[in-house]
Amino acid sequence: MDNVLEVKGLSRSFPGFQLKDISFTLPKGYIMGLIGPNGSGKTTTIKLILNMLKRDGGEVKILGLDNIAEEKAAKAELAVVFDSNYFCEAWTAAQTEAAVSGFYENWDTNRFHQLLERFRIDPAKKVKDLSRGMQMKLMLACAFSYGAKLLILDEPTSGLDPVSRDELLTILSGYIEDGEHSVLFSTHITGDLERAADYITYINRGSLFFTGGKDEFVDSFRIVKGGPEDLTEEIKARLIGLRTHPTGFEALVRTEDLERMRRTGGKAAENRSVRGNRDSETVRFPAYTGALGKSSPVDSWTVEPATIDEIVVFTSKTPDDNGE
Amino acid sequence: MNETLKAARLDFALLRPYWKTLCFIILMPVIYTGVARSLSAGISFEMCMLGITASYTFAISEKNGMERLYGALPVARRHLVFGKYLLICATGLLALGISLVTHTAVLKALGETVHAWEIAVSAVLGFFVYTFYVVFQLPGYYKFGAVGGKMFQFIPVTGYLLTLILLPRVDPNSPVLTAVLGRPGALAGAVLLCCAAAYGISIVVSVRIVKNKEV
């Protein structure tokens, strides 16, 4: 079994919202980021995977098991961590173990207590007295105590401070290290994914926008900036989430579209400026020297690699958002 | 059965932090028995009080957003329902047992005579009223939640008030009543059968609600 999670054609309609034909696969031993703006359908997708919502169509397989027909067996292999605590706040960490351990045949009490120690959680402390980050670690300790093969996290980092977020990402990296465990990580804080994710599934307005490798996703887009005089109707049609201002414009463009514009328009220079940990360099593209032999508007543009955050922001924009 | 027991244990774990409140609810009606000098009246009041606590596990899980935990656990939804009914039924029986002992002791301490048949009648009556207090409440909580279904908490109070109003109007010399009370074994059997049927129907309704419910 190479894929831990297979989602095919998942659909669900609500009044005013429709999740349409979502398909993706998560291979064993990797972290997949499930991204999209608020209300795009990430939590709905997770709830459909967990059979907490009824699907209108599609299929979900967890470790090859159907999530409805073989729900119990499938859920024994997965763990879920939500954005907030789902244990009784009056329980202590030890009472939490007593309450949930019985449902898992593989529950390892020693491992649970080792994890509490590692996460610095006092077993006698009540859940309500734990910080938000600690509550999340308690959910993780439970998840790791029965050897869940698939960990599903729904917005786990929202509301966490940067230190706790960093700790979580370290824990997740350790979790998948043996190549046997996988993580589906839903978030709108895409900075976390830059570091941790191997794959990205991007859902926008209920539809699948992209699913595949993170590097491929980031490489598929560029941020372009240019002067106001550069904007022709043809160019506008290729730009995504166009933002115009008196001195020019900024937009996202598919890398393939950018290359197409270069081939048909003229030569261009791509400035890879310093962004995060990326190297600063300027690269010339002589191969794109235009056949027309005249300068293209693209020549004067600043072209930069896009971050996941920027891709989500620009692709989520509608023409109305830009005042057009 | 194993799954049902696990689910009952989970619900018991929800109640455990509130054991002092439950003890108070179980023991407090002793005062009523002492004032009314009637075992059956005290037990009836006791079961009314306990019936109100049927919403506790729903309220606690709703307050803590635990429907997400239930949704992630490897257990069929129907077993979660069976577990809850098992726990509530067991809690009722345990409280009934404790009450019969404590209330009888209080009455005897006050110089009252308590006959064995009175204890038996109070036990059957207590189980009967408790059953009818909870079987209507639980599907309501499954459907509307503890907050949305708050009105179902009034079922035990309403039931108790109806008992208080209607009981004095029953003619003790009525031939039907005489015939029924003349066969205590059959009466107890009929009551238990009735309770079992009520639980059965309530469970079926609750399972149907839970299976169709989305979290």
Cα three-residue angle A187-A193-A199, rounded to 5 degrees: 100
- Closest CB to B214: pick one of A52, A73, A86: A52
CB contact under 8 A, A87 and B73: no
Strands of A28-142 (E only): list them: 31-35, 57-62, 65-66, 78-81
- List chain A domain ranges: 3-218, 221-315
Please state which of the four CATH numbers 3.40.50.720, 3.40.50.620, 3.40.50.300, 3.10.129.10 is assigned to the domain occupying A3-218: 3.40.50.300
Q: What's the length of chain B?
A: 215
d(CA B171, CA B177): 8
Q: How far apart are the CA of B12 and the nearest CA of chain A, in angstroms? A: 9
- Supply the ipTM of this predicted assembly: 0.85
CB contact under 8 A, A80 and B215: no
d(CA A51, CA A4): 17
CA within 13 Å, CB half, A8: 8
Environment class of A256 (CB within 10 Å of its CB; exposed 0-12, middle 13-18, buried 19+): exposed
Q: How far apart are the CA of A86 and the nearest CA of chain B, in angstroms? A: 5
Show the tokens assigned to A157.
Answer: 């980092």
State the amino acid at position A309 in one-letter form.
D
Q: Please report the residues numbered 17 through 56 in chain B whose beta carbons come closer than 8 angstroms to any beta carbon of chain A.
A: 17-18
pLDDT at A295: 56
d(CA B89, CA B54): 10
Q: How do the pLDDT tens digits run along chain A, 324 residues long? A: 689 999 999 999 999 999 999 999 999 999 999 999 888 999 999 999 999 999 999 999 999 999 999 999 999 999 999 988 999 999 999 999 999 999 999 999 999 999 999 999 999 999 999 998 899 999 999 999 998 999 999 988 877 888 888 888 888 999 999 999 999 999 888 888 888 899 999 999 999 999 999 999 999 999 999 888 878 888 888 899 999 888 889 999 999 888 887 776 533 344 434 343 344 333 333 333 333 444 566 667 889 999 999 999 999 876 555 544
Q: Which residues of B touch A85 (CB under 8 A)?
A: 64-65
Cβ atoms of A230 and A301 closer than 8 Å: yes
Q: Which residues of B touch A75 (CB under 8 A)?
A: 72-74
Q: How far apart are the CA of A76 and the nearest CA of chain B, in angstroms? A: 5
CB contact under 8 A, A99 and B10: yes
Show the tokens assigned to A128.
Answer: 């309500």
pLDDT at A265: 57
Minimal-distance CA residue of chain A relative to B63: A88
CB contact under 8 A, A104 and B74: yes
Q: Which residues of A touch B6 (CB under 8 A)?
A: 102-103
Q: Which residues of A touch B14 (CB under 8 A)?
A: 88, 99
Question: Any idea of the CA torsion for A311, A313, A314, A315, to the nearest 10 degrees?
Answer: 80
d(CA A22, CA B138): 37
pLDDT at A291: 38
A94 interfaces chain B, CB cutoff of 8 Å: no
pLDDT at B89: 95
> What value does the CA radius of gyration of chain B take, rounded to a whole number of Å?
18
pLDDT at A259: 81
pLDDT at B76: 93
d(CA B213, CA B145): 11
Q: Which residues of B touch A47 (CB under 8 A)?
A: 71, 214-215
DSSP A61: E
A285 interfaces chain B, CB cutoff of 8 Å: no
pLDDT at A160: 81
d(CA B155, CA B142): 15
pTM of the model: 0.85
If DSSP codes are grouped into helix, strand and coil, which group holds residue A30? coil
Q: How far apart are the CA of A212 and the nearest CA of chain B, in angstroms? A: 27
A17 interfaces chain B, CB cutoff of 8 Å: no
The CA–CA distances, whole Å, from A122 to A107, A135, B194 equal 19, 11, 49
d(CA A6, CA A26): 7
d(CA A321, CA A246): 17
d(CA A282, CA A271): 5
A100 interfaces chain B, CB cutoff of 8 Å: yes
DSSP A296: -
Flag residues of chain B having pLDDT under 70: 1
Mutate to test the interface with A, among B63, B73, B80, B215 (most CBs of A within 10 A): B73
pLDDT at B168: 78
